[in-house]
Amino acid sequence: MTYRELLRTPGAAAFFVPTAAGRVGIAMTSLSIVWLVRSATGSYATAGVVTGAFAVADALVGPQVGRLIDRFGQRRVLLPAALVHALAVAALVLSAGYGAPGWVLAAAGALVGASLPQLSAAALARWSALLDGERKPALPTAYALESLSNSVAYLVGPALVSTIAAAGRPVLGTLSAAALVVAGGSILALQRRTEPRSSRRTAGARITAARCCGPGSWCW
């Protein structure tokens, strides 16, 4: 199956396109923080500390967000995460603009990283649910497409945010990254047609089936 045929699968393009856009925003975020903080403080050291706080928070909290998505579903987790991410970026931009101390900037950067929506994991879960049964042989192609999208994002994103910052607009670069992340995450979350079932819903269905199909009962 080719990539074009894969994206013609009902519901596939509807979640792939916003996820791809969100990935570009994610690829822009860390470098946009460097440009923003360096412009506000004049210090690459402070920019490195804030970006480091962002990266550590993303690494520590990201897997926990993934677990919440598995348990409660993508819509219930991605939408609040996108909202918190938007507020965190706004806090970072305002803190930088008003000359806040380094620890405040680092705290805001950590919140930006902790609230980063886990779009790649969510997209892979959707492909796995969408290409079930007879379509399962197409999964390697879907995973290859996701890998290609991720690679392109990390080529385009840093180049784009660096161009914006080099033009003297580091705040615009940070806000553009956040806009792509929030929009991509929100649109993905609203795609209910391809959303995988959460583990809580699956467990509930199993309990219901066990009650209906217990000893002395009929199963239909």
Its pTM stands at 0.86
Residue 196 · residue 27 · CB < 8 Å: no
Residue with tokens 């615009």: 172
**pLDDT, position 123:** 92
- Determine the straight-line distance between the first and last CA of the chain, rounded to whole angstroms: 36
**pLDDT, position 200:** 56
**pLDDT, position 220:** 31
SS (H, E, C) 107-154: HHHHHHHHCCCCHHHHHHHHHHHHCCHHHHHHHHHHHHHHHHHHHHHH
Q: From 186, 166, 190, 137, select the one nearest 1 (Cα to Cα).
A: 137
Residue 112 · residue 54 · CB < 8 Å: yes
Question: Coil, strand, or helix at residue 50?
Answer: helix
**pLDDT, position 199:** 65
pLDDT tens-place values along the chain, 220 residues long: 789 989 999 999 999 999 999 999 999 999 999 999 999 999 999 999 999 999 999 999 999 998 999 899 899 999 999 999 999 999 999 999 999 999 999 999 999 999 999 898 899 999 999 998 888 999 999 999 999 999 999 999 999 999 999 999 999 999 999 999 999 999 999 988 889 987 655 444 343 333 444 444 433 3
CA distances from 220 to 39, 204, 205 (A): 66, 18, 14
**pLDDT, position 216:** 45
